[in-house]
Structure formats: structure tokens, C-alpha cells
Structure 1
Amino acid sequence: MRDLKLSELPRRVAAIVESVEDAMPNDAIARRLRELGFVAGERVELMAAGPFTAEPLLVQVGFTRFALRRVEAARVRVAMAGDPA
């Protein structure tokens, strides 16, 4: 199974969230990502990226879409959906 960051995921390829990395104890950004639905086992897909700096990233988790900065998306660890465990 190939482990990568959400920010590295190719566009329109389904993946499964493995974890959200905390940069420090009680990390507000990591907590907010989990509250938005970036939790282990959830299906996620990178839909699009901005035109010039490839920011923001349009990410779909479940049936909801969010705009994330690359540094935020880099905290979400994913595995390709078709990979065996």
C-alpha cells in the first residue's frame, strides 16, 4: 500500500484517509480537519487545483467539497483506494 499526503494525490483518484498529522499538541488545524470529516476510513478525492500556484485545492470528502491550502492537505495521510491493506 502506497502511503502519501493528500496534497500529493493525483486529481480524480479515490483514496482513503489514514490519519491527520498533528504538528503540535492540541493542534487547532488538525482538529478542524477531523471535524470536517477527514477521519480514518473516509473516502477522499482531489477534484481540482487553483490555476497559478495550484492553490487552493478542491477536495471532496464523503459528499462534501472543501477548499484547502496545500499545507493543510499535506497533513492528511491517505492510501490509494484500490491498494490492498
Structure 2
Amino acid sequence: MSDTIKLSQARRGDCGVIVQVGDHCHHDEHALELERRLLELGFVEGARIELLHEGLLGRDPIAMKVDDMRVALRRHEAASLTVRVEPVA
């Protein structure tokens, strides 16, 4: 059985699959803009994620592999992504 968490809760080495982008709160313009930007960066449902690195201060920002690209996000942005964490093979 796998767990579903916000990407902001992930730790270095965690792997998984994006199951939801955004909070689907469509009355908040800021949330809609962030969701649009994340989608443009390749954070789409079904994309594979691996957390590669965490910043030193407050573990922020976080660097991750999204399918075949590397992207860095701040934790408050990563909180908009829900991930199904999978056991490391």
C-alpha cells in the first residue's frame, strides 16, 4: 500500500507519482496562477517524481527530478502537489 502526501512533506530520496496538481480552489487567483505555472513546468498528474536535494535553511528550496527534467521549487509551492509515494526498489 502506498501513501499519498503533499510534495512539501517529502524527504530526500522519496520517489512517487503526482496524483493531483493544485488544490482545485478556483476562487483564489493566486492558487490558479500557481497551478497553471506548475502544469507548464511539467508537474502533471502521472509524472514520476524523485526528491534529489533539500536546501540547508528550512529545507528550502527542494530540487527534484520530474520525469526526465530537474526542477527546484519552494516548499510552499510544492504544497500544491499531491504525490503517491512509492517504496524504493
Superposition RMSD on alpha carbons, in Å?
1.6
Identity %: 37
Q: Size of the alignment, in residue pairs?
A: 82
Paired residues of 2:3 and 2:86 also in contact (CA < 8 A)? no
For each residue in 1:27-62, what CA deviation from the matched residue of structure 2 results, as whole angstroms up to 9, or x when unmatched? 111111011111111100111111122111112101
5+ unaligned residues in a row in structure 2: which ranges? none
Where do 4+ consecutive residues of structure 1 move more than 3 Å? none
1:41 equivalenced with 2:42 (yes/no):
no
Corresponding residue of 2:78: 73
Q: Name which of structure 1's ranges 45-54 and 22-31 shifts more when overlaid on structure 2.
A: 22-31
Corresponding residue of 2:5: 4
**CA–CA separation in structure 2 for the residues paired with 1:35 and 1:53:** 26
Give the TM-score, by structure 2 length. Answer: 0.81
Q: C-alpha displacement at 1:24, in angstroms?
A: 4.0
Paired residues of 2:50 and 2:64 also in contact (CA < 8 A)? yes
Give the TM-score, by structure 1 length. Answer: 0.85
